[in-house]
A and B are shown apart, each in its own frame.
Chain A
Amino acid sequence: MSTDVAVRVEDKLFYNRYQVDPGRAHIKVRPHTTPSPQLKALLKACPARCYELNDSGQVEITVDGCIECGTCRVIGEASGDIEWSYPRGGYGVLFKFG
């Protein structure tokens, strides 16, 4: 059990329903050259794995799979690393069960 299990988050998100709001990302990452410790933590802590490292080593976000938990805000908003809002009314994740 101590060995790490491989998990494909994309498969998990596939179960969910979303109403995507094209061109209106509700979370933004502040432009940077090297990521802060907070931004690096988001690569692992986001339950939908919305944060990824790009080829030149910066943290990027794709909000389409976001499940709106607020974890990244709690970690990264105070330091100014990210800007966080809820999606517009009616958009975003639509839980059937919750």
Chain B
Amino acid sequence: MIEERFDAIVVGAGMAGNAAALTMAKRGMKVLQLERGEYSGSKNVQGAILYADMLEKLIPEFREEAPLERHLVEQRFWMLDDKSHVGLHYKSDDFNEEKPNRYTIIRAQFDKWFSSKVKEAGATVLCETTVTELAQDAYGKVIGVKTDRRDGEIHADVVVLAEGVNGLLGTRAGLRDRPKPENVALAVKEMHFLPRETIEARFNLKGDEGAVIEAAGTISRGMTGMGFIYSNKECISLGIGCLVSDFQKTGETPYGLLERFKQHPSVAPLIEGSEVKEYSAHLIPEGGYNAIPQLCGDGWVVVGDAAQLNNAIHREGSNLAMTSGRIAAEAIFQVKSRRDPMTKENLALYKKMLEESFVIKDLKKYKDMPALLHNQSQNFFLTYPQLVSKAMQNFVRVDGTPKKEKESSMLRSFVNARSWTGLFGDAFKFARAWR
């Protein structure tokens, strides 16, 4: 057993763990952070869009040092059927500001840098160490962790579980259930390398400007899912994710979906001639507010993806992870400063502070969305994209059909596919879930 005792042990060096370890170390606490990867980032997969605001709260000068790819000036949403896309594009020169709001990043590189800040702040970071179990006393209070190193039990006043979406340790210790297939999406992703100028020409970008595309429609074959195409400096991140329960039900393969997405006529020209350098996969929590587990207990708190804090509608996760990590650390520091024990009651301060933040407020706002999209996936991801594409084609194709006839045939195709009650019902449910 390692005799040394710590104020806090942080399990995981992803976005949430790094934010928590940094915050506590900066406050002078004695922090040990354990990470199973070769270095922080070597196991982590993301799109990846970084939201500046949440990182700024932790490292105000990050823009000067962090490995950032491109600042985003354009967001595109595409609704796809097999051959077409209907798009909504928003590009603004306002985003070419002194302190841009969103950047693309490459997680393995970004996390490594983030971790260097954690070490600078004075935390002990131990990589290549898998935590296998939580150490608990006879009353179930968490008193430390067990690792796969020899003599691997280490003790601390509190353990911050920042172990990511799988949350294995929490499940093993009976603190929460394992994620359910309908509450997590499996995303697969590839990194496509191209010369910088080619990327800039294909996405219509100047210098370090970046653009991102979110795509939904028939590419997910009626499953609840989305594709993404993000521009980095010298590569394009491209991927697609769908609910695990849908994969289970349909027997679709993740790589099959990815390949079809790449071959879509709107997508293929963007990556033509690229060199692929990595293929990765990762789960994304999609259960929303209703899937959030217990956030704290005697001797522990859980943060980030492990607490299922992820806003799938807006593709926000790392910012919720960073914020929950920081808030948990601040709460722990307050409890410690009062010399109070790390009991469930005292650590509930974290829960209270999180509820007052955007993290829980946003998740609450969309609490009915996951169920709606899940139960209606055929309509939202297959029928509507096909109908909208057909309507657009009907609208732009000039073929001598009188406009009035065109309009009524368009309407008929919607009603035939979904019925009036279906259409109104969907619109109503969607509006209510969005509210």
B255 within 8 A of A: yes
Contact assessment for B244 and A7 in the assembled complex, using a CB-CB cutoff below 8 Å: no
B181 touches A67 (CB 8 A): no
Residues in A37-91 with C-beta less than 8 Å from chain B:
38, 41, 44-45, 47-49, 67-71, 73-75, 77-78, 84-90
Q: What's the minimum C-beta distance from B154 to chain A, rounded to whole angstroms?
A: 14
Question: Given A4-B256, A7-B256, A98-B107, are A45 and B244 neighbors across the interface (CB < 8 Å)?
Answer: yes
Q: Are A71 and B244 within 8 A (Cβ)?
A: yes
Which chain A residue shows the least CB distance to B83? A1
For residue A13, which residues in chain B have a CB less than 8 angstroms away from its CB? Answer: 279
Known: A5-B259, A69-B186, A97-B109. A78 touches B282 (CB 8 A): no
Known: A1-B263, A89-B127, A90-B128. A97 touches B277 (CB 8 A): yes
Query: Does B383 sit within 8 A of A, measured CB to CB?
Result: no
Chain B residues, Cβ within 8 Å of A47: 186, 188, 254-255, 281
B residues 45-81 touching A (CB-CB < 8 Å): 45-46, 48
B278 proximity list for chain A (CB < 8 A) = 15-16, 95-98
The distance in angstroms between the C-alpha atoms of A50 and B361, with both chains bound, is 40
Does any Cβ of A come within 8 Å of B166's Cβ?
yes
Which secondary structure dominates chain A's binding surface? Answer: loop
Decide yes or no whether B168 CB sits under 8 A from chain A: yes
Residues on B with C-beta less than 8 A from A74 are: 178-181, 184, 244, 283
Question: For chain B, what secondary structure do more than half of its interface residues adopt (helix, strand, loop), or is it mixed?
Answer: mixed
- In the complex, whether B253 has a CB less than 8 A from a CB of chain A is yes
Asked if A33 CB lies within 8 Å of chain B CBs, one says no
Interface size on B, residues (CB 8 A): 61
Bound together, the chains give a CA A30 to CA B278 distance in angstroms of 31
Q: Whose C-beta in chain A lies nearest to the C-beta of B260?
A: A5
Chain A's closest residue to B256 (CB) is A7
- Does B340 sit within 8 A of A, measured CB to CB? no
B407 contacts the other chain (Cβ, under 8 Å)?
no
Tell me if B252 counts as interface (CB < 8 A to partner A).
yes
Give the CA-CA distance A12 to B283 in the complex, in Å. Answer: 18
Stretch at the interface among B21-29, B35-43, B327-335, B372-380: B35-43
**CB contact between B248 and one of A68, A75, A86, A93 (< 8 Å): that residue:** A75
Given A97-B106, A97-B278, is A89 in contact with B129 using a C-beta cutoff of 8 Å? yes
Contacts of B256 in A (CB 8 A): 4-5, 7
Which residues on the B side are within 8 Å of A96 (C-beta)? Answer: 108, 277-278
The reply to whether A69 and B128 form a contact with Cβ atoms under 8 Å apart is: no
Q: Is the CB of A9 within 8 A of B127?
A: no
> Does B264 interact with chain A (Cβ within 8 Å)?
yes
* Residue from A75, A86, A95 within 8 A of B44 (CB atoms): A95
Q: Which chain A residues border B168 with CB–CB below 8 Å?
A: 73, 84-86
Contacting A at CB under 8 A, from B151-177, are 165-166, 168
Select one of B132, B166, B244 contacting A75, CB under 8 A. B244
Is the Cβ of B129 less than 8 Å from the Cβ of A73?
no
Which of B38, B48, B106, B147 has the most chain A CB within a 10 Å cutoff? B38
Which residues of the partner chain B approach A68 to less than 8 Å between Cβ atoms? Answer: 43
A7 lies within 8 A of B283 (CB): no
Residues in B403-431 with C-beta less than 8 Å from chain A:
none
B290 is an interface residue with CB less than 8 A from chain A: no
Given contacts A1-B260, A12-B279, A90-B38, 4 further A-B contacts (CB under 8 A): A74-B178, A85-B168, A86-B36, A90-B128
Chain B positions within 8 Å of A, measured between CB atoms, are: 36-38, 41-46, 48, 82-83, 106-109, 111, 127-130, 132, 147-149, 165-166, 168, 178-181, 184, 186, 188, 190-191, 218, 235, 244, 247-248, 251-256, 258-260, 263-264, 276-283
